[in-house]
Amino acid sequence: MKTVDSNKQKLTTPEIVVESITQLNNLQDEVDLPLETALLAIAEEGSMEGADTVQIGNTVFLAHSGKGENKNKMWGRSFNIDTGRNYISNAMEYLRYLQNKNVTHYTTEFETDTLVPAMQMIQKRLKKTSDSAMYIGVTEDDEYIVYVKLGKDSIR
C-alpha cells in the first residue's frame, strides 16, 4: 500500500480520498463501485446536512451527526494514506476534535482487518490517558465495528 508520511509531505483532501479509495478497491476481490462512482458518492455524502469533513495529517475523517436526542453522537469513517504511526496520532487528534465539539459517542465500521492493530493501539492509549473508552467488535458480516464513548477527561 502506498503511504505518504504527512510529516514530510501533506496532501490535499481530494488526493487522500482518491488514493485511499483506489487502494481499497485494489484490496477487495470484488469492487463495489467503479472509482468515479465511489468518488461522486463521497463528494455527495460530504455535502449532506450534518456531514463533517476534517483532514488531519494525510487522513480525512468524514462523519455525520445524529439528530434530536442523538445530536451528540456521530458515525463516520476515515480515508487514510498516512503512515501507521501517524494514523494513530491523527485519530487521537480527531477524537480530541470530537470531544471539543461535545460529541459523546462515535461509531465507525471497516471491512478489512488491516486497521485492527491501529484501533487496538488507540484503545490502549484512551484507556491510559482518559476516561474515554473504545470497543472493537465484529459484525455478523465479518466486518469490524468500533464504538468510542468520549469521556469528560481531555484526551491526551
* Complete domains list, the chain, with CATH: 13-149 (3.40.630.30)
Query: In the prediction, which pLDDT does 27 show?
Result: 60
Is residue 51 within 8 Å of 38, Cβ to Cβ?
A: no
Burial of 1 per CB tally in 10 Å (0-12, 13-18, 19+) = exposed
**Distances from the Cα of 40 to the Cαs of 2, 37, 72, 105, in angstroms?**
22, 5, 28, 28
Of the chain, the end-to-end C-alpha distance in Å amounts to: 29
Task: For residue 70, give the DSSP letter.
Answer: G
d(CA 135, CA 130): 15
- Per-residue pLDDT tens digits of the chain, which is 156 residues long: 689 999 999 999 999 999 999 887 766 555 567 888 889 999 999 999 989 999 999 999 999 999 999 999 999 999 999 999 999 999 999 999 999 999 999 999 998 888 999 999 999 999 998 899 999 999 999 999 999 999 999 998
